[in-house]
Homo-oligomer: A and B are copies of this chain.
Amino acid sequence: MSDSALLSGRRVAILVEDEFEDLELSGPLAALRDAGATVKVIGPTAGAQFKGKRGQATVTSDVAAGSVRMKDFDALVIPGGHAPDKMRMRHAMVDLARDAMDAGKPVAAICHGPWVLANADVLEGRTVTSVPNIRRDLENAGATWVDEEVVVDQGLVTSRTPDDLPAFCAKLVEEIGEGRHGQQARSVA
């Protein structure tokens, strides 16, 4: 991740809502920028401030979810904490997640983040991990759940907790570097 040219020109969207798991947003954000990616923080509205659940991180949204489309981005990142409980109520955020998956673009979700993918109805047949608390929800959404620090399934990168961040960020950068998984793309977002 010290190679700042690795993701040069790549545009990545990170979803945000209040009470995100602090390191699960700040960690991937730093890793992606270190690798040269252009990262936009996508909130329910633009220019709003969001606080991490531990009070360690504060972030301001660059744009509103409803004002962008996945064609403007090469990948999507969904952090965890209590934030995904709120994100899944935002239709524009759920639509971004569905469009990213449908287009075969890399999507990375950690902790409670995969809930957004359950609402996007894109987990049928996919292999994922998550914080164990939501395992049943992901299985009921059609996913196969495994207990590993990071799982990569055709561009879908998932991890369990902040302890997994080194592996999560490394795979995330790697998948975005590889680009779109054409064989699974069902439509172009």
Name A's B-contacting residues (CB within 8 A): 82, 85-86, 88-89, 115, 118-119, 132-134, 136-137, 140-141
Q: Is B86 touching A133 in the complex (CB atoms < 8 A)?
A: yes
Interchain residue pairs with CB less than 8 A apart (18): A82-B82, A85-B133, A85-B134, A86-B133, A88-B133, A88-B136, A89-B132, A89-B133, A115-B137, A118-B136, A118-B137, A118-B140, A119-B136, A136-B141, A137-B137, A137-B140, A140-B140, A140-B141
Sort A-B residue pairs by CB-CB distance and give the 3 closest, nearest first: A140-B140, A137-B137, A85-B133
Q: Name A87's closest neighbour in chain B (CB-CB).
A: B133
| Interface contacts beyond A85-B133, A137-B140, A140-B141: sample of 12 additional A-B pairs, CB < 8 Å, sorted by A | A85-B134, A86-B133, A88-B133, A88-B136, A89-B132, A89-B133, A115-B137, A118-B136, A118-B137, A118-B140, A119-B136, A140-B140
